[in-house]
């Protein structure tokens, strides 16, 4: 069934009945007959400030206005036109569609199953290092253009098969109109990526972006481990990541204060220069914003590390930092039975976790033994 009718740049379009996704502020709908476009419709009527924000954004061409090469998708899901209801009221905006199978949310890289499904032949640590580089590069470029991401999280970034990223929800980006001088703040933020000053109601700044960037890079390079996970020894067992950030306590910096969750990857998998930046971000930088490493500092450190990544001789999907003498993922596989960056495939090509394959192998072996016994009995009967 068809859904709502809106006008995009004067053209009448029909939206899909059900949204692709819906959040607290708005819902995103596909456009019938236009597979490459979507429309974001606000749940509540947006005020004049939001309309002025959008109109100003439509006159801007951030980051040069186009991808840096022909293989790369647009770097920002920037508004392309206002959306109005049949009465002419502003209700949202149109933009390019970014979704599967071409793009997946950054959070998918934190899941072994999702990495194997979406990037079966390239989702190794070297690929994650490249995604981290792209994320730092994009953040630095946006800061150079006086744009603050604000609501910076793993759900607001998508990545394609080449590791290129695109920022979503650009209507919440903070910026100042250079013509009128009007400031457009970012009111949204995601708790697990919010620095203490943002949790306390402070404005989005480059420094708050730097905090979120550090968390995301650490998560990417440790296959999903949040640096503020775990429970503090002297806190409520129901404490959350948000609580740990507010308490300025990360197991990366203060492991003695945290009951670290099982399965957490040791921070030492990060090369020394990157681990030093993480210590700054999750130590002094939690409560002292100027002490946080900038996007450009992350970019320099990541650039220096990329050429020297090593590849495991035993498993081609195991790559790791040049500071390590042996493959950490093989050691983890031997200790836990879980292959963080690989899987034994089933006959149909579907990856299977090592634990499941171990059970499957036992069952197959048992079936073979039974068959041999049957053959022996029949032979000598």
* Model pLDDT for residues 183-240, shown as the tens digit of each residue: 999 989 999 999 999 999 999 999 999 999 999 999 999 999 999 998 887 766 677 8
Query: Which token pair is 166?
Result: 């695109």
Q: What is the CATH number of the domain that holds 1?
A: 3.30.200.20
Is residue 242 in some structural domain? Answer: yes
Query: Would you give the DSSP letter of residue 148?
Result: B
C-alpha span between 107 and 224 (Å, rounded)? 8
Q: Are residues 76 and 199 in the same domain?
A: no
Residue 332 lies in a domain: no
Q: Report the C-alpha gap between 275 and 298 in whole angstroms.
A: 11
Q: What is the rounded CA–CA span in Å between residue 83 and residue 42?
A: 10
Residue 209 lies in a domain: yes
**CA nearest 3: which of 13, 40, 24?**
13
Is position 162 within any domain?
yes
pLDDT for 60? 86
Task: Fill in the DSSP letter of residue 204.
Answer: P
Q: What local confidence, expressed as pLDDT, does residue 236 receive?
A: 64
Closest alpha carbon to 79 in 105, 59, 63, 100: 59
Domain presence at residue 361: yes
The per-residue pLDDT for range 294-353, each reduced to its tens digit, is 999 999 999 999 999 999 999 988 999 999 999 999 999 999 888 998 754 333 344 433
pLDDT at 371 over 60: no
214 and 257 part of one domain? yes
CATH of the domain at 214: 1.10.510.10
Last residue of a domain, one of 67, 97, 127: 97
pLDDT of 20 higher than 60? yes
Whether 360 has a pLDDT exceeding 60, the answer reads no
The answer on 165 and 46 residing in a single domain is no
29-57: per-residue pLDDT in tens?
A: 999 988 888 999 999 988 899 999 998 99
Q: C-alpha angle with apex 238: 235 to 239, nearest 5 degrees?
A: 55
Q: What percent of the chain has pLDDT over 70?
A: 86
pLDDT digits (tens, 9 = 90+) for 164-188: 999 998 999 999 988 889 999 998 9
Q: Please state the φ and ψ torsions of residue 35, each to the nearest 5 degrees.
A: -65, -20
Q: 338 — phi, psi (to 5°)?
A: -110, 125
Q: Are residues 232 and 308 in the same domain?
A: yes
Task: Answer yes or no: do 186 and 279 share one domain.
Answer: yes
How far, in Å, are 76, 134, 268 from residue 165 at the CA level? 9, 7, 26
Assess whether 93 and 103 both reside in one domain: no
Neighbour tally for 206: CB within 10 Å: 20
Tell me the pTM: 0.85
* pLDDT at residue 64, as a whole number: 56
Q: Is residue 330 part of a domain?
A: no
Query: What sections of the chain are H helices per DSSP?
Result: 48-57, 112-118, 125-144, 196-199, 206-221, 241-246, 272-282, 284-287, 295-305, 328-336, 354-380
At residue 366, the pLDDT reads 42
Q: How many domains does the chain have?
A: 3
Query: Do 358 and 280 share a structural domain?
Result: no
pLDDT interval class at 121 (50, 70, 90): confident
Look at residue 162 and give its three-state secondary structure.
Answer: coil
The β-bridge relationship of strands 21-22 and 11-16 is unpaired
Domain with 374 in it: 344-380
For the chain, the residue count is 381
* Alpha carbons 132 and 281: distance in angstroms, whole number: 16
Instruction: Please check whether residue 263 lies inside any domain of the structure.
Output: yes
For residues 138 and 55, state if they share a domain. Answer: no
Residues 225 and 154 in one domain: yes
Last residue of a domain, one of 76, 97, 118: 97
Q: Which of 71, 97, 123 corresponds to the end of one domain?
A: 97
Are 104 and 240 part of one and the same domain? yes
**Are 156 and 244 part of one and the same domain?**
yes
First-to-last C-alpha distance (Å) of the chain: 68
What pLDDT, in 10s, does the model give residues 48-97?
Answer: 999 999 989 988 877 654 444 445 567 888 898 999 999 999 999 999 88
Q: CA-to-CA distance for 338 and 190, rounded, in angstroms?
A: 30
The whole-number pLDDT of residue 161 equals 87
| Residue 202 contacts residue 196 (beta carbons within 8 Å) | no
Rounded Cα gap, residues 74 and 168, in angstroms: 11
The per-residue pLDDT for 9 is 82
- Four-residue CA torsion sign, 230, 234, 235, 241: negative
Helix (H), strand (E) counts: the chain: 11, 18
Backbone angles phi, psi at 238, to 5 degrees: -95, 10
Half-sphere exposure of 289 (CA within 13 A, CB side): 15
- Within a domain: 16: yes
Nearest-angstrom CA–CA distance, 146 and 369: 69
Does one domain contain both 85 and 191? no
């Amino acid at each position: 069934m068809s859904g709502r009718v809106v006008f995009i740049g004067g053209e009448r379009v029909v939206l899909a009945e059900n949204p692709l996704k819906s959040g607290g502020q708005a819902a995103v709908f596909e456009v019938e007959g236009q597979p490459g476009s979507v429309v974001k419709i606000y749940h509540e009527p947006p005020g004049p400030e939001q309309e002025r924000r959008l109109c100003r954004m439509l006159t801007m061409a951030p980051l040069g206005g186009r991808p840096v090469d022909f293989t790369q998708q647009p770097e920002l899901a920037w508004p392309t036109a206002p959306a109005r209801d049949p009465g002419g009221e502003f209700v949202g905006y149109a933009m390019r569609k970014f979704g599967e199978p071409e793009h997946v949310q950054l959070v998918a890289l934190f899941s072994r199953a999702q990495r194997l499904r979406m990037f079966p032949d390239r989702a190794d640590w070297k690929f994650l290092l490249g995604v981290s580089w792209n994320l730092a590069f994009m953040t630095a470029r946006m800061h150079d253009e006086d744009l603050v991401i604000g609501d910076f999280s793993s759900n607001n970034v998508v990545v394609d098969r080449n590791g290129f990223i695109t920022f979503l929800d650009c209507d919440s980006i903070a910026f100042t109109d250079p013509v009128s001088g009007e400031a457009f703040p970012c009111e949204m933020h995601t708790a697990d990526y919010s620095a203490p000053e943002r949790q306390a109601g402070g404005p989005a700044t480059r420094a708050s972006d730097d905090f979120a960037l550090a968390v995301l890079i650490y998560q990417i390079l440790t296959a999903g481990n949040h640096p503020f996970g775990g429970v503090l020894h002297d806190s409520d067992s129901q404490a959350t990541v948000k609580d740990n950030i507010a308490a300025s306590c990360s197991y990366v910096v203060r492991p003695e204060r945290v009951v670290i969750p099982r399965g957490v990857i040791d921070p030492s998998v990060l090369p020394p220069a990157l681990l030093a930046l993480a210590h700054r971000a999750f130590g002094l930088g939690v409560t002292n914003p100027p002490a946080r490493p900038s996007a450009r500092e992350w970019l320099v450190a990541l650039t220096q590390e990329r050429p020297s990544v090593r590849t495991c001789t035993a498993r081609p999907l195991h790559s790791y930092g040049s500071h390590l003498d042996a493959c950490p993922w093989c050691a983890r596989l031997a200790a836990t039975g879980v292959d963080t960056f690989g899987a034994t495939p089933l006959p149909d090509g579907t990856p299977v976790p090592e634990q499941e394959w171990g059970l499957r192998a036992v069952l197959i072996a048992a079936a073979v033994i039974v068959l041999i016994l049957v053959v022996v009995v029949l032979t000598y009967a």
